[in-house]
Every structure is written in C-alpha cells, then in structure tokens.
Structure 1
C-alpha cells in the first residue's frame, strides 16, 4: 500500500468513526455500534502507526514515533499539496 492509499484509508476510517460517534451520542447502548466503533478505533491506531513509521507524523500532538525524526521535515505534511 503506497502513501496515498494508506492516508485515504485512514481518512475513510476516521470519517466512519466520527459518524458512529454521532450515532452513539443518540443511542449509547447500541452494542453493535459500540463494537464497530471500537474496531474502527483499533484499525485507525494501527494504520496511523504504520503511516507514521513509513512516512512521518500525521499530527503534531506528541503521539508520533521518533524512530525516524528526519522524516518530520523531509517530506511535505499530508495536508500540503504535492
């Protein structure tokens, strides 16, 4: 999976998680929605970790790995045009 495919998948899962979060605001006891939200959260965490190891941090909030600090400045940020 290349950088753009990985980033797209992360964004797709985050969008779904936000939608489930909004749903759970109205139906907080729906176990299927809770399970789906937890599964999406796990997948997002895994994919973000994978992305950051390969391409550098996605955010500047202190959660990125520092295994490759040179990648923090060597590539454009995900929101910058390439």
Structure 2
C-alpha cells in the first residue's frame, strides 16, 4: 500500500491555517447565536470584526500559499495552483 506523503510547509503555513480554522469555528458559533439573538449588537459587531479579520488573513494566506476555496471563491495564479495545495488530510 502506498502511503500518502505529507507536503512540507513552513511553520507560518500551519500557524495561519490554525488561526483560520479558529476564526471559522468562532464565526459559525456566532452565526448560530445571532440566528436566535438577532438584536445582540455586541455579538453582531464581534461577528463583523472577525469576518473582516478572517477575510484579510485568508487573502494573505492565499498570496503566500495558494487558494483556500474552489469553485470561484478563490483566485488562482498561473499555472493552476490547485495541484500544488495539499488536500485537507495531508495537512
């Protein structure tokens, strides 16, 4: 059986990816909370601030390491970068 080799990236790759995952988790939780508490201004402000932080971090990550999302949600430089980005189970 062939073992899938894990691509090697620098520590910043893993640190940024972990931060993106933490932001995504928090945004999902805030989204669920706001579904039942739509008038909580502090939660809405926190959601918007974290959404903006996530957008900036994702943009920076993609400039350094390639696209995060497919189907038109992330741009790709030439040549097509998806073949160079690790699959989720490789990270």
Q: Please classify the TM superposition score into its range, dividing by the shorter chain length.
A: 0.7 to 0.9
The corresponding residue for 2:13 is 3
TM-score by length of 1: 0.85
8 Å CA contact retained: 1:24, 1:30 = yes
Structure 2: 5+ residue stretches without partners: 1-10
Give the aligned CA root-mean-square deviation in angstroms: 1.7
Question: Runs of 4+ in structure 1 displaced over 4 angstroms?
Answer: none
Structure 1 pair 25/60, CA: closer, same or farther in 2 (3 Å)?
Answer: same
- The structural deviation recorded for 1:73 is 1.8
TM-score by length of 2: 0.78
Q: Which has the higher contact order (CA 8 A, sep 6+)?
A: 2
Structure 1: 5+ residue stretches without partners: none
Structure 1 pair 69/9, CA: closer, same or farther in 2 (3 Å)?
Answer: farther
How many pairs were matched up? 81
Structure 1 pair 55/2, CA: closer, same or farther in 2 (3 Å)?
Answer: same
